[in-house]
Amino acid sequence: MSNSRHIVIIGNGISGVTLARHLRKADSNVRITLISGESKYFFSRTALMYIYMGHMKFEHTQPYENWFWEKNRIDLKEGWVKSIDYSSKELLFSDGEDLKYDLLVLAVGSKPNKFGWPGQDLKGVQGLYSKQDLELMEENTQGNVERAVIVGGGLIGIEMAEMLAYRKIPVTFLVREEGFWTNVLPKEESELVGRHIREHHIDLRLSTELDEILSDQNGRVRAIRTNTGEEIQCQFVGLTAGVKPNVDFLKGSDLEVNRGIRVNEFFETNIPEVYAIGDCAEFEQAPAVDRKNIEQVWYTGRMHGETLAQTLSGERTPYRPGHWFNSAKFLDIEYQTYGTVPAVWNQKEVDSFYWEHKNGKICFRMLMDKKGLLLGVNNFGFRLRHEFFDRALSEKWPGAKVIKNLKRANFDPEFFAPYHQLIQDQFLNEYGGDFTVSKSSWTQKLFGAKL
Amino acid sequence: MNIIQKIGIGLFLIGMTVFIAMPFIGNYTLSEEQVRTATKEIHQEQMTEILAPMYGVEYGSNFAFLSAFNENFSTYNDALKDQGAWDQVIWDDYGFPLAMAALESPVKSQPWIFLGLSIGLCVLGGLFFILPQYRGEPEGIKNNGIYHSSATSRGFIGIATGTFLILFYVLLYWYPAYLANHVWMVNPLSLLLSGNPASQWFLYGFIYTLAIAVMGVRMYRKYRGNKYQILRTSSVIFFQTAFAFLIPEILVLLNQPYFDFKNIWPLDYDFFYSYNLDTLISSGGFGLFMLMWGILLIIIGVPLLTYFYGKRWYCSWVCGCGGLAETVGDPYRQLSDKSLKAWKYERVIIHSVLVLAVVMTALTLVNYFMSFELLGNVTNQLHSFYGFAIGAAFSGVVGTGFYPFMGNRVWCRFGCPLAAYLGLVQRFKSRFRITTNGGQCISCGNCSTYCEMGIDVRWYAQRGQNIVRSSCVGCGVCSAVCPRGVLKLENDNEENRINDMPIIIGNDSIKVNA
């Protein structure tokens, strides 16, 4: 390893930061520079909503104290990169500065999708991705906002709805599909979340699309019109129809860019010594059958960084993600998933076991192949153990074995209701099995929450 | 905020105003008879003489009365000190009993009415405000607006609250004479419970217990749907009301020693003081039982229960200081310092207090069993130093007064010697840990922000590592506020509890440590 090698990472999100940390661990000599125009110090993007809602201040979203970077000799450079000269290995910043690199990693993240709606650039219309977006949202919702409209039914949309609800701003939530987040959630789960959204007095409009955003005389949004022709008066519009790789400034150069920056399983781009990780990378081939070519979640960003750090510190390592997992929180309802649970599946190949609590806010789904082996689970309203399902998936457990041992998978706090018992009971009714419903301890029976 | 809540705030403010105004009510007239009753026999002659100029004079305020008292008393005492006549100097503080005796005020004559108008209105107003909270909202913990509220983000209301608490503690510990009206106000209650007149400590215990109960109701509202929090809150309300407040009073009524069965040395730092040992030993079989109970808790109860459940069995389920922190202090939990630096200070300070308490107690016991031949009165001076610096200033003034500035566990985190002892057991020999759920952490920071002990929970969670920290009191709030279901308080096998080199699940590309 050359001692003076200078690795420059553009983007200090979870992928870039993870890469920098692991690189430093593996190699104490390499020079590391982490560039960001968004924020000097790494913060957790997923926590932006909590700042708006007063749960935390910005400093609380920073996972490492400010001295951490100097101590680990990770140079932080604030600035926006305007262009890259790959032949002279030089970055040009928007303020005219430049910076030489020996090896470049692009971890430039995403930006909100805008689908060319008329009026999408009006004042009061915005997405939510960056720290600057949050500051803009703060500004845009200061004045007299009598109603907000959110366009796009995904994770950021529901977060934005929750944020606005905290500020007592009534929200109309337009979702193009027939249910909430139906490109990911099966029908029942989507309906469960939909009910909960309405329980929070959010005006959820399914199968409704945005046609046009209408302006007042000051160039500010005054209303939107839907595809049904309805006009909804509003002073704020959140565009939350997904995100796309933030690669516009990289286009038109030698770097191969499609929707994202094209990379192989080693995160190598078409240019030597230039890599891309995180949201902005587009794999030539999806990393696994149940994965997409562009991975845009926190956990994959982290894994990209972990993996590339191996390669860059001497051990060339292909990206081999393990079993899929993810989580989210929809207002008050937590969601976790382990393994593969698509929104729809072929009933000839896949069996679905679904349990829902009578309160309609807690549910569990397990998909099995026709041999009865576990494919994946969704759980809403209660918590399940990652380690348990990672093992069950690796060891290809039959679904029945998963259910039999479900008590061990429970990750809810002590004294919470033992939902696994109801799940086991229903599974025995539907599928039979050589086990009995788990028993509660006497303390649980005496003090615990009831089912 | 609805109308009932607004009325609640109004009632609370009226109650607070009456409470704060109380020291300024009434006048003070001292008689020789009162001095005789209020002073120890050995001081009676001197005191009646010293205070003679005050007899029959009506003082319009406690300030006037106490300054006259101090002037007369100090003139006498200082002269003795100047002469070096130390054996004749009067060390007792008679200001409080004499102010109690000399006071004439509407509070003293109508204590129930004033109790209702001050504490009563505060409780009622508090409940009016708390009960309608989250009404009609689905279950779920919301820390909405915590950092937008002046009360909970070191704003003006927070500073005012802290100042009030600090002032109250200073008066309580060092100038109780100014609380004479307050003490008279709860006197009938004390007579009812123990048959004894109220002291400032009865007043304190009464307010303390009520505060835990009312703010406990707030916990029920805020954490509704979270059974762990609900049970824990019920537990601290129960132990405070029954064990710390009622049972000791009832014991006194039954001519037994005042004894709090859940208070444990070295938090209960005077447990091994000679007067306590003498009291317990001379109180027959029940006194001996209390002595044995106290000792067994220290040598068996603490290690055993902490081994099985972690220090939470005490700190966030039983302890009185913990009870106050977990109820009254809950709105301030986010103000604890999470920096590495604070953790370094914490370890030095809390273990120093533990060492101090152990050394002091060891010397006290040696001295006691050698019939005071070894050190004579030195232990007494050690006791007054500890009582002043740790017992009063640290645990009381700083411990509670600093809630709105440094969070609700300043004492428990930096000072409590029992917490240090429980923490050592929890760190090195326990089944308790907070398990991190594989790779699910998104580093959002809710857990760290809301950790009252200032543990940077996220540091561990984001590396997939279990949290095993001596300071963790197991309040369970990190787990409650986690939006991704990443944290679980558990008692399980000791094996794999501490994993210094965790591997985050989910990435098969690598087998390196986080």
Kindly tell me if the per-residue pLDDT of A411 is higher than 60.
yes
What confidence tier does A153 reach under pLDDT thresholds 50, 70, 90? confident
CB A50 within 8 A of CB A7: no
Q: Are residues A371 and A344 in the same domain?
A: yes
Kindly tell me if the per-residue pLDDT of B88 is higher than 90.
no
User: Which of A217-221, B80-84, B423-427 is the least confident region?
Assistant: B80-84
Which structure tokens are listed for B465? Answer: 């590592």
Is residue B501 less than 8 Å (CB to CB) from chain A? Answer: no
Choose, out of B235, B437, B444, the residue to mutate when testing the contact with A (most A CBs < 10 Å).
B444
Kindly tell me if the per-residue pLDDT of B361 is higher than 80.
yes
Chain B residues whose beta carbon lies within 8 Å of the beta carbon of residue A316 = none
- The SS3 of residue B489 is strand
Is residue B496 less than 8 Å (CB to CB) from chain A? Answer: no
**Nearest residue of A to residue B335, measured between CA atoms:** A56
The one-letter amino acid at A437:
V
Tell me the β-bridge partners of A84: A91
**Number of other residues whose CB lies within 10 A of the CB of residue B178:** 20
Kindly tell me if the per-residue pLDDT of A73 is higher than 90.
yes
Separation of alpha carbons B97 and B35, rounded Å: 9
Separation of alpha carbons A247 and A353, rounded Å: 41
Which structure tokens are listed for A106? Answer: 């692009």
CATH code of A251's domain: 3.50.50.60
Separation of alpha carbons B202 and B198, rounded Å: 6
Chain A residues whose beta carbon lies within 8 Å of the beta carbon of residue B340 = 65
Q: Which residues, 6+ apart, have CB-to-CB distance to A113 below 8 Å?
A: A127, A152, A239, A241, A242, A243, A244
What confidence tier does B514 reach under pLDDT thresholds 50, 70, 90? low
The one-letter amino acid at A174:
L
**Number of other residues whose CB lies within 10 A of the CB of residue A441:** 10
What confidence tier does A200 reach under pLDDT thresholds 50, 70, 90? very high
Q: Do B458 and A390 touch (CB under 8 A)?
A: no
Q: Which residues, 6+ apart, have CB-to-CB distance to A214 below 8 Å?
A: A119, A221, A222, A223, A224, A225, A231
Is residue B181 less than 8 Å (CB to CB) from chain A? Answer: no
Separation of alpha carbons A111 and A61, rounded Å: 20
Whether omega before B266 lies within 30 degrees of 0, making that bond cis, reads: yes
| Strand A374-380 versus strand A333-339 pairing type | antiparallel
Separation of alpha carbons B274 and A281, rounded Å: 74
The pLDDT score that the predictor gives to residue B513 is 59
- Residue A23 in domain: yes
Q: Are residues A158 and A259 in the same domain?
A: no
- For residue B6, the Cα-to-chain-centroid distance in whole angstroms is 30
CB B360 within 8 A of CB B375: no
- Which residues belong to CATH 3.30.70.20 in chain B? 431-510
Please provide the distance, in angstroms rounded to a whole number, between the alpha carbons at the two ends of chain A.
Answer: 59
| Strand A274-276 versus strand A103-106 pairing type | parallel
What confidence tier does B378 reach under pLDDT thresholds 50, 70, 90? confident
> For chain A, how many structural domains are there in total?
3
CA distance A47 to chain B (A): 5
Closest residue to B509, CB basis, from A299, A320, A325: A320
What confidence tens digit (pLDDT) does each residue in B56-69 have? 999 999 999 999 99
Q: Are residues A288 and A358 in the same domain?
A: no
- The SS3 of residue A308 is helix
Task: Calculate ∠ Cα A190-A193-A197, nearest 5°.
Answer: 135
Find the domain containing A425 and state its range: 325-446
Separation of alpha carbons B67 and B50, rounded Å: 14
User: Number of A:B CB contacts under 8 A?
Assistant: 166
| Strand A221-226 versus strand A363-369 pairing type | unpaired
- The SS3 of residue B216 is helix
Q: Which residues, 6+ apart, have CB-to-CB distance to B133 below 8 Å?
A: B5, B218, B221, B222
**Number of other residues whose CB lies within 10 A of the CB of residue B139:** 13
What confidence tier does B509 reach under pLDDT thresholds 50, 70, 90? confident
Backbone phi and psi for residue B266, each to the nearest 5 degrees, phi listed first: -90, 5
Kindly tell me if the per-residue pLDDT of B33 is higher than 60.
yes
Question: Which option is the CATH number for B431-510: 3.40.50.720, 1.10.8.10, 3.30.70.20, 3.40.630.10?
Answer: 3.30.70.20
Mean pLDDT throughout A129-140?
A: 97
- Residue A117 in domain: no
Q: Are residues A11 and A31 in the same domain?
A: yes
The pLDDT score that the predictor gives to residue B371 is 82
- Residue A422 in domain: yes
* DSSP H stretches of helix in A117-251: 131-140, 155-166, 187-199
Q: b vs e for A18-42, b when ≥16 Cβ sit within 10 Å of the residue's Cβ?
A: bbbbbbbebbeebebbbbbbbbebb
Domain final residue pick, A312, A336, A370: A312
Q: Are residues A281 and A389 in the same domain?
A: no
**Number of other residues whose CB lies within 10 A of the CB of residue B116:** 16
Chain A residues whose beta carbon lies within 8 Å of the beta carbon of residue B433 = none
Q: Helices then strands (H, E): number in chain A?
A: 12, 25
Which structure tokens are listed for B426? Answer: 């929890």
Q: Are residues A371 and A332 in the same domain?
A: yes
Q: Do A60 and B448 touch (CB under 8 A)?
A: yes
Q: Are residues A436 and A334 in the same domain?
A: yes
Separation of alpha carbons B466 and B435, rounded Å: 5
Mean pLDDT throughout B318-327?
A: 98
Q: Do B507 and A322 touch (CB under 8 A)?
A: yes
Chain A residues whose beta carbon lies within 8 Å of the beta carbon of residue B444 = 44, 46-47, 50, 61
Mean pLDDT throughout B140-151?
A: 95
Percent of chain A topping pLDDT 90: 98
CB A298 within 8 A of CB A329: no
| Strand A90-93 versus strand A81-85 pairing type | antiparallel
The pLDDT score that the predictor gives to residue A3 is 59
Separation of alpha carbons B156 and A209, rounded Å: 47
Kindly tell me if the per-residue pLDDT of A1 is higher than 90.
no
Helix (H) or strand (E) holding A391: helix A386-394
Mean pLDDT throughout A265-270?
A: 98
Kindly tell me if the per-residue pLDDT of B120 is higher than 90.
yes
The pLDDT score that the predictor gives to residue B496 is 84
- Residue A318 in domain: no
Q: Do B140 and A332 touch (CB under 8 A)?
A: yes
Separation of alpha carbons B329 and A125, rounded Å: 41
Q: Do A413 and B508 touch (CB under 8 A)?
A: no
Closest CA to B374 of B360, B363, B358, B359: B363
**Residue-averaged pLDDT of chain B:** 95
Mean pLDDT throughout B493-503?
A: 83
The pLDDT score that the predictor gives to residue B512 is 58
Q: Which residues, 6+ apart, have CB-to-CB distance to B339 below 8 Å?
A: A65
Q: b vs e for B239-255, b when ≥16 Cβ sit within 10 Å of the residue's Cβ?
A: bbbebbbebbbebbeee
- The SS3 of residue B140 is coil
Q: Are residues A52 and A148 in the same domain?
A: no
Percent of chain A topping pLDDT 70: 99
Domain final residue pick, A201, A223, A241: A241
CA distance B339 to chain A (A): 7
Q: b vs e for B466-483, b when ≥16 Cβ sit within 10 Å of the residue's Cβ?
A: bbbbbbbbbbbbbbbbbb
Q: Are residues A148 and A183 in the same domain?
A: yes
The one-letter amino acid at B18:
V
Chain A residues whose beta carbon lies within 8 Å of the beta carbon of residue B231 = 415, 447
Q: Which residues, 6+ apart, have CB-to-CB distance to B275 below 8 Å?
A: none
- Residue A1 in domain: no
Tell me the β-bridge partners of A243: A112
Domain final residue pick, A241, A259, A285: A241
Q: Which residues, 6+ apart, have CB-to-CB distance to B83 below 8 Å?
A: none
| Nearest 10 degrees: Cα torsion B196, B202, B206, B211 | 180
CB A299 within 8 A of CB B506: yes
Kindly tell me if the per-residue pLDDT of B168 is higher than 80.
yes
Long-range contacts, A390-394 (Cβ 8 Å, 24+): A390/A322, A390/A323, A390/A325, A390/A338, A390/B438, A390/B505, A390/B506, A393/A323, A393/A338, A393/A339, A394/A322, A394/A323
CB A63 within 8 A of CB A44: yes
Separation of alpha carbons B413 and B353, rounded Å: 11
The one-letter amino acid at B46:
Q
Kindly tell me if the per-residue pLDDT of A2 is higher than 70.
no
Helix (H) or strand (E) holding B381: helix B378-386
CATH code of A432's domain: 3.30.390.30
Q: Are residues A29 and A104 in the same domain?
A: yes
Task: Calculate ∠ Cα B357-B360-B365, nearest 5°.
Answer: 120
Chain A residues whose beta carbon lies within 8 Å of the beta carbon of residue B485 = 327, 334, 336, 383-384, 411
Q: Are residues A249 and A234 in the same domain?
A: no
DSSP A450: P
Task: Calculate ∠ Cα B336-B341-B347, nearest 5°.
Answer: 85
CA distance A228 to chain B (A): 32
Kindly tell me if the per-residue pLDDT of A328 is higher than 90.
yes
Separation of alpha carbons B406 and B339, rounded Å: 13
User: Which of A215-229, B88-102, B152-166 is the least confident region?
Assistant: B88-102
Separation of alpha carbons A383 and A337, rounded Å: 10
Closest residue to A332, CB basis, from B139, B438, B444: B139
Chain B residues whose beta carbon lies within 8 Å of the beta carbon of residue A417 = 227
- Residue A116 in domain: no
Q: Are residues A252 and A347 in the same domain?
A: no
Distances (CA, A) of B130 to A397, B7, B325: 49, 11, 18
Torsion region of A415: left, alpha or beta (phi above 0 gives left; psi -120 to 50 gives alpha): left
Mean pLDDT throughout B18-43?
A: 95
- Residue A409 in domain: yes
Which structure tokens are listed for B39? Answer: 């002073």
**Residue-averaged pLDDT of chain A:** 96
